């Protein structure tokens, strides 16, 4: 019974035309985002900003789930509904980030290991009671000279698998996120190689920990040229490399891949998703779980002012619509300036 429930939630999260909004920025990250529009990171400003996103009318047409942060899952709208309830009223499934952040890995300079396994079973039970139906854990793999090491990759894969097993035990769909960073001058070929090795290690650990693949989602990075690589791959090259890499290592039993945007511009992230969905023979749903790529235009319009809420919500609705079109491979550049239809 439990497994059936997990599978049905996982499938709903990657329903055709829909994707996930990652709004689970930790305190440090949201402070950075708000600072970029000169808004101080007070609890009320963080709440008000998230309310803009979560109460956007019609968002449920394009957004299947929202990932919340510990503080956010406990907050309410101005009219007193919990955020969980406000999302559910829009047909959106609430989720929760449960890792405690990526910390420097002892003895491995430049590499990180994600913390948060201690007490996780109890925290998951509480989040489930608060209304979460899925969870997220992010591992971070950096590319550089002599890194990533095998030790860093396998330590993170093991933690991801232990997290995923605990989620399924607690009736939450785990989103497994091993993010290989785009920061650096690496070529797309190198990015491919490291992404493949990382995902192989992750799926091996998931198998060892008896995680049900049908009851989880993978949140991978796309395979592109490193941010500072002098030769930037085209949209078509990125789409082909990413799908080729995923096909090698991600079992078809996984219902969907929800890509992170990882520092791409909002338009790039949409273009890449669109091009991937135009490729033939895709064994899984290819969707999005974007943070920055969905929120950048919203922050820009909102600027911390109640008077700008309508414009900010329009920007969010529009961005979500563009990505919804990309889920079908039907996005075109002229939609950037078009009205949602
Ligand atoms: P970005 O799309 O901004 O990479 O955020 C997604 C996310 O949830 C990272 O953990």
Q: How far is the CA of 23 from the centre of ligand 1 (A)?
A: 8
Q: Convert the pLDDT of each residue in 58-103 to its tens digit.
A: 999 999 999 999 999 999 999 999 999 999 999 999 999 999 999 9
Report the run of H or E that residue 314 belongs to, with start and end: helix 309-327
- DSSP label of 284: S
Q: How far is the CA of 341 from the centre of ligand 1 (A)?
A: 27
CA-based R_g, the chain, Å: 19
The third-level CATH classification (topology) of the domain covering 3-336 is TIM Barrel (3.20.20)
pLDDT of 1 above 50: no
Question: Taking the CA of residue 201 as centre, how many other CA atoms within 13 Å lie in the half-sphere pointing to its CB?
Answer: 25
3-state secondary structure of 181: coil
Q: Convert the pLDDT of each residue in 253-281 to its tens digit.
A: 999 999 999 999 999 999 999 999 999 99
- The reply to whether ligand 1 has any atom less than 6 angstroms from the CB of 290 is yes
Please give the distance of CA 114 from its chain centroid, rounded to a whole number.
Answer: 16
Partners of 176 in beta bridges: 137, 218
206's CB contacts (< 8 A; 6+ apart) are: 160, 161, 164, 176, 213, 216
Question: How is the chain split into domains, by residue range?
Answer: 3-336
Please give the Cα distance from 243 to 222 (Å, whole number): 9
Q: Atom 1 of ligand 1 has which residue's CA nearest to it?
A: 291
pLDDT of 322 above 90: yes
Q: How far is the CA of 219 from the centre of ligand 1 (A)?
A: 9
Q: Active-site residues: which are they?
A: 177, 219
Neighbours of 248 (CB within 10 A): 12
Ligand 1, residue 262: give the atom nearest the CA.
Answer: 4
Q: Convert the pLDDT of each residue in 9-53 to its tens digit.
A: 999 999 999 999 999 999 999 999 999 999 999 999 999 999 999
Read off the pTM: 0.98
Please give the Cα distance from 11 to 6 (Å, whole number): 9
Ligand 1, residue 261: give the atom nearest the CA.
Answer: 2
């Amino acid at each position: 019974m439990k497994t059936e429930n997990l599978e049905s939630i996982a499938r709903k999260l990657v329903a055709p035309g829909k994707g996930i909004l990652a709004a689970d920025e930790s305190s440090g990250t949201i402070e950075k985002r708000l600072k970029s529009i000169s808004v101080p990171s007070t609890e009320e400003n963080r709440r008000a900003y998230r309310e803009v996103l979560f109460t956007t009318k019609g968002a449920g047409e394009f957004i299947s789930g929202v990932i919340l942060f510990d503080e956010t899952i406990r907050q309410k709208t101005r009219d007193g509904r919990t955020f969980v309830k406000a999302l559910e009223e829009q047909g959106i499934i609430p989720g929760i980030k449960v890792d405690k952040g990526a910390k420097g890995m002892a003895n491995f300079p430049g590499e990180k290991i994600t913390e948060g396994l201690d007490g996780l079973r109890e925290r998951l039970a509480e989040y489930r009671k608060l209304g979460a139906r899925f969870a997220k854990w992010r591992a971070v793999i950096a590319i550089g000279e002599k890194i990533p090491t095998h030790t860093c990759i396998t330590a993170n894969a093991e933690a991801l698998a232990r997290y995923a097993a605990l989620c399924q035990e607690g009736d939450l769909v785990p989103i497994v996120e091993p993010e290989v960073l785009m920061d650096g001058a690496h070529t797309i070929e190198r990015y491919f190689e490291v992404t493949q090795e990382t995902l192989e290690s992750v799926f091996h650990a998931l198998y060892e920990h008896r995680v049900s693949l049908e009851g989880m989602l993978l949140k991978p990075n796309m395979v592109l040229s490193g941010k500072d690589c002098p030769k930037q791959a085209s949209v078509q090259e990125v789409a082909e490399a990413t799908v080729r890499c995923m096909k090698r290592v991600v079992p078809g039993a996984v219902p969907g891949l929800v890509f992170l945007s990882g520092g791409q511009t909002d338009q790039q992230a949409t273009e890449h998703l669109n091009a991937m969905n135009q490729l033939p023979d895709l064994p899984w749903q290819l969707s999005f779980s974007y943070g920055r790529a969905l929120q950048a235009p919203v922050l820009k319009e909102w600027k911390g002012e109640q008077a700008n809420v309508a414009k900010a919500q329009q920007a969010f609705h529009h961005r979500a619509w563009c990505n919804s079109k990309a889920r079908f491979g039907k996005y075109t550049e002229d939609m950037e300036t078009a009205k949602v239809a």
